[in-house]
Structures are given as C-alpha cells and as structure tokens.
C-alpha cells in the first residue's frame, strides 16, 4: 500500500533530539548486542514512509533503542505503537516519548525472539488471509545479531499463519546488513542467491527498497544497511511444511559452488544415497548440473513435492541427518581403533 500524500494530523510536541537523549542518559551502543543507533530523522521518516500509510494503524516496533524510528512512527499518526526493548537502558528515553504521546505508545521490556505479539493487539484487527493485509505492521532497525534468526522465525510464522500473522498478512519493514538484504531479495542466477532468498520468496513478496550508508549510524558499522519490505503471499509458492522446505533448501545451499546434486545427496542415508538422489532429480525434472543459485522457486517446489512423497514412503527419511550419520561412523571407527590397539 502506498504512503498517503496528506500531512499527518498529529505530531509529537518539541522534544530533545535523539543525540541529546543519548547524551542525557549516557547511552552507548553495546557492541556485544550489535547495536547501532540511527539518528537522522529524515532517514527514519523514510523507513516509515516505505512501510505504507500508517494512519490509524497498529505498529509493532522491534528494537527501538533510543527511539529514532519510534518518533517517526508516532508522527505517522498511528492508532497505537507497541515497542519491545530488551535493553533496560533505553526505557527512560522511550518513556519520555510515551509521556509526549498519551495513549499511543506502549512499552514492553522483553525479548523480540520470545515476545507473543499474537496476543498484543485486539482480535477485531484480524482479517482473513485472502483479504488485503491488516492494519498491523512490523517495523524495526534490527540488531545484526538477531536479524537472521528473527526473520527465519517470522517466515515460519507466516507458513503456519501464527505469531504476528494471526491478524492476517501483516507487512514487515526491517533493516539488515546490506549483504543480508541483498540475499533476501536476490533473483535466480544472482551471486547473492541463497537459502534466505528462497525461504523468504516462496512465502513473501520481498523488496530491498533502499540502502542506508553505514556512516548514518552511531557507532558506524563496518557495513551499509538495507531496508527490506515483506508482504506475505496469499498462496505460498511451495505448499509443503516449513521444516521440510527448510531442510531441502539448506542441503542444496550447503555446497553452493558445487552442482545441486551434491547437496541433495545429503538428504539420504549413505546406503541409498546415489539411487535416491537420482530418483529425486528425475521425478522433479531437475538438471543435476545446475548450481544452487540457478534453481528457481519452481525448481525448489518440484524438489520439495517429490521429497515429501519419498518421506511419505519412508517415514524415517525426514528425520535423517547426514551429520549424525558421520558422527556415528566416526565414533564406530574410534571404537574399532581402540579394540585393534587392545588386541
């Protein structure tokens, strides 16, 4: 949904700048939490505009920190903004914003990886999955350390239509390291094509909407930052359980410079590896000499559909993990060497 051209009818009163709040509260970015503050309100306003028209919307902001994006969201005339912040040092600054926006800002001290957002907003906001996205948005300048596990968690939520997606096809506008943002949006054949590309794009319309130079952040990270917008698809492009898709995709990309058959072989126990891999590729109609980055979403759909049938035929197959087999073989070899030494 495009941002509305009309001016917001509600604005925050004059407040200390983010830089002044950081100085006042003696805040410093914690390196171990990969924190980087975005102080330029023109950029935070741009992130919020790219999220769409937020007038009277309900917004869940993850990792608000000192509150730069928080201000821009509030100035977009939202109905309610819920922020979840793990670091207690930022709570006083956020409380200052809450006092300036009575009834609009709700602050939760918690961890975004475990917070139950499905219980955070009114049931009345829920929309059928087939309808337009609900008036619920997720926005956040994510710490680099949690960005990938968090988006994988949310993609699984989209697949199951739970978590933040109990309200419908909730849209997300999030920051990532530029390289991760490029991977999320990478097309088939691109050098940046990766596991993240496939996992995100089979479930969402993914757009890398703009890049923020690292110098805009304090402290300056070693990389630039990409802003990515996600809109869940009405119909996923692969209709198989998330864990099954994830297993197939992970195995293919673990040997990203090899032919795709190399990673697919690892889906099967050694005793049946060559035969089963050949069968999988033949039934899925996949050229075994394609590289992982050359496989389209439709290729992965065929692979997942055939692998699902093979798992249905052999209920133990899905639980197979080649690393466990390697570990067991190594353990047996060590036992054998000990026995030979004793004899």
Q: Give me the residues paired with residue 176 across strands.
A: 226
111 in a known ligand binding site: yes
262: part of which helix (H) or strand (E)?
A: helix 260-264
Kindly state the tokens that stand for 91.
């709570």
C-alpha closest to that of 140 among 157, 159, 117, 118 = 117
Structure tokens belonging to residue 145 = 């350390």
Chain position carrying tokens 């009575």: 102
CA dist 134 → 125, 232, 314, 341 (Å): 7, 11, 41, 68
Q: 124-150 burial, b if ≥16 CB within 10 A, otherwise e?
A: ebeeeeeeebbbbbbbbbbbbebbbeb
Structure tokens at 113: 């990886």
What is each CA distance from 331 to 184, 270, 280, 324, 325, in whole angstroms?
38, 16, 30, 10, 10
Is 38 flagged in the annotation as binding? yes
Query: How far does the chain reach from its first CA to its final CA, in angstroms?
Result: 75
Residue 294 phi, psi dihedral angles, 5° rounding: -90, -5
Which DSSP string corresponds to 110-131?
S-TTT--GGGTS-GGG---TTS
| CA neighbor of 197 nearest in space, from 209, 213, 210, 186 | 186
Question: Shortest CA distance to 233 belongs to which of 260, 205, 198?
Answer: 205
- Whole-angstrom Cα distance, residue 280 to residue 303? 7
Q: Is 141 annotated as a binding residue?
A: yes
Residue 85 labeled ligand binder: yes
Q: Which of these, 251, 263, 248, 264, lies nearest to 305 by C-alpha position?
A: 248
Phi then psi for residue 107, to 5 deg, are -110, 130
| Residues annotated within a binding site | 36, 38, 63, 85, 111, 141
| Residues annotated within a binding site for S-adenosyl-L-methionine | 36, 38, 63, 85, 111, 141
């Amino acid at each position: 949904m495009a941002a509305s051209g009309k001016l917001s009818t509600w604005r925050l009163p004059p407040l200390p700048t983010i830089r002044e709040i950081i100085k006042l509260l003696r805040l410093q970015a914690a390196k171990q939490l990969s924190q980087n503050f975005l102080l330029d309100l023109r950029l935070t306003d741009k992130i919020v505009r790219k999220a769409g028209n937020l007038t009277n919307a309900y917004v869940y902001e993850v990792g608000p920190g000192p509150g730069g994006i928080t201000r821009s969201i509030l100035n977009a005339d939202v109905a309610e903004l819920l922020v979840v912040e793990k670091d207690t040092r930022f709570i006083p600054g956020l409380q200052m914003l809450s006092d300036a926006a009575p009834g609009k800002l709700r602050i939760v001290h918690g961890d975004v990886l475990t917070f139950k957002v499905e219980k955070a907003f009114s049931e009345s906001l829920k929309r059928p999955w087939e309808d337009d996205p609900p008036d619920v948005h997720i926005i956040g300048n994510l710490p680099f350390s949690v960005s990938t596990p968090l988006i994988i968690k949310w993609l699984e939520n989209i697949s199951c239509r739970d978590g933040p997606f109990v309200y419908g096809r909730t849209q997300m506008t999030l920051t990532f390291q530029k390289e991760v943002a490029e991977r999320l949006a990478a097309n088939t054949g691109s050098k940046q094509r990766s596991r993240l590309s496939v996992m995100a794009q089979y479930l969402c319309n993914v757009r890398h909407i703009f890049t923020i130079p690292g110098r805009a952040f304090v402290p300056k990270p070693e990389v630039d930052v990409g802003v990515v917008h996600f809109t869940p698809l009405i119909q996923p492009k692969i209709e198989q359980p998330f864990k099954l898709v994830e297993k197939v995709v992970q195995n293919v990309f673990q040997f990203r410079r090899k032919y795709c058959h190399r990673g697919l072989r690892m889906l099967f126990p050694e005793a049946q590896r060559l035969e089963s891999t050949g069968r999988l590729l033949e039934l899925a109609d996949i050229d075994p000499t394609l590289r992982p980055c050359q496989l389209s979403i439709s290729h992965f759909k065929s692979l997942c559909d055939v692998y699902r049938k093979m798992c249905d035929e052999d209920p133990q197959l899905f639980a197979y993990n080649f690393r466990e087999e390697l570990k067991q073989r190594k353990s047996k070899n060590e036992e054998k060497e000990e026995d030979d030494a004793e004899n």
